[in-house]
Structure formats: structure tokens, C-alpha cells
Amino acid sequence: MLKRFLPKETGFFDFFEAHNALAVEACENLIKLSANSEELAFVSTKIKEIESKADKVTHQCISALHRTFITPFDRNDILRLIHRLDDILDLIEEATTCMSLYEIREIKPEVHEFSVILHKAVNAIGEILKSLRDIRDPKPIMENCKYVSKLEHDGDFILHSAMVKLFKEEKDPVSLIKWKEILELLEKATDKCHDVTNVIEGIVIEAS
């Protein structure tokens, strides 16, 4: 299955883009879930499968790093970048697994808001990764990094508003604890999108 994400001649940029393509797919499934709670079991399983594929890409990237003497940029940055990309999917998978394990019957609107933000962020990261192949013109990279930073701030606001609403309106303490965990995981996923751009900004600065 991974062959459709990776060209015949693979490189580190191919690994990054393949991993991010899987994140886009996971976000699309999260959006689907946010619109229909009846899809929870199916989508949770699907995202778990996607996360497993992404883990394989991560392992392949790290294995290639051990075998490669000449890399497109600093080896530690390659390692940090693939791990930060992996963190995004790990958190999305953990959030949907929690929803499934907790047998959530009704999806809160904030899940949709987070899913849209994450979808925008990983798509922007996809554009950044394409531009990273040739960073003679860093402007589009930095502009998209700023956009992801804005989305991360939007995620902070959604979580803050959701927590205020949750503690004010939720009467069942068990349900409150469940939703607090789920929403915090989704917000952490937006943080990791920002972490990805922080790594990339560092790469661009070192290359300039």
C-alpha cells in the first residue's frame, strides 16, 4: 500500500511528503466523523490503519538516514521533522481511539472545528514540504509557516472556549473528563503542526 505514496526512487523529501499525505487522509476521515457519530467505529479503525502506515514511513525514513552519508540538510533536522510529522498523526489517532473506547454517542461541534483546522494545517505543511525541495526562494515557505502558526492560535482559542463551555454546561463529571481529554488531544495535534513549521523555519534559516 505504501508504494502508491512513494516514487520508485525515494529520498527524504519523498518520505516527508508521503507521511503528510497520510495526515491529510486522516484529517479527511476526522471531518467525516465530526459530521456523523455513527461513523465512529469505522473511522477510528481507518485512522488507526493510516497511523500504522505512517509509522512504516517514519521507520523507513530513519533507516534510510542511517544508511545515507550525504543528506539534503542536517541529519538531526531530518530526524526531528519526521518525528514531528508523526506526532500529528499519533495524536489524531489517539483522540479518535478515545472517542471509540469511551463510546461517544454525540460528537461535539468543537471536533469539527479542530478537524477543519488540522486539515488546513496539514495541507499547508504539504505545500511547505514541496517548496522545501528548493529553498532558493524561502518566501512561500515562511508565509505558509505563518499561516500554520495562525491556525495553531485558532486551536488554542477553540480549546479555551470549549473548556469554559464544558465546565459550565456538562453535568456528568465522567463525560466532562472524557471530553476534556479528547479536545486536549486534538489541540495538541494543532500544536504539533506548529512544531513542524518551527523545524522547517530552522532549516530555512540555516540554508540562507
Looking at residues 26-46, what average pLDDT do you find?
92
pTM for the model stands at 0.92
Q: What residues contact 108, with CB distance under 8 A and at least 6 apart? A: 162, 179, 183
Query: Which of the pair, 165 or 208, is modelled with greater confidence?
Result: 165
Q: How many helices (DSSP H) and strands (DSSP E) are in the chain?
A: 6, 0
Q: Which amino acid is at 65?
A: L
Answer for the pair 62, 38: CB distance below 8 angstroms, yes or no: no
Of the given ranges (13-17, 33-37, 99-103, 127-131), which has the lowest mean pLDDT?
A: 33-37
Domain 8-207 CATH class label: mainly alpha
Average pLDDT, the chain: 92
Whether the predicted pLDDT of 2 surpasses 50: no
Under the banding of pLDDT at 50, 70 and 90, the label for residue 10 is: very low
pLDDT at 68: 83
Instruction: Sort 28 into a burial class: Cβ within 10 Å, 0-12 / 13-18 / 19+.
Output: middle
Of the given ranges (14-23, 32-41, 115-124), which has the lowest mean pLDDT?
A: 32-41
**What share of the chain in percent tops pLDDT 90?**
82
Looking at residues 200-205, what average pLDDT do you find?
93
Instruction: Sort 118 into a burial class: Cβ within 10 Å, 0-12 / 13-18 / 19+.
Output: buried
Taking only the tens place, the pLDDT of each residue in 138-193 is: 999 999 999 999 999 999 999 999 999 999 999 999 999 999 999 999 999 999 99
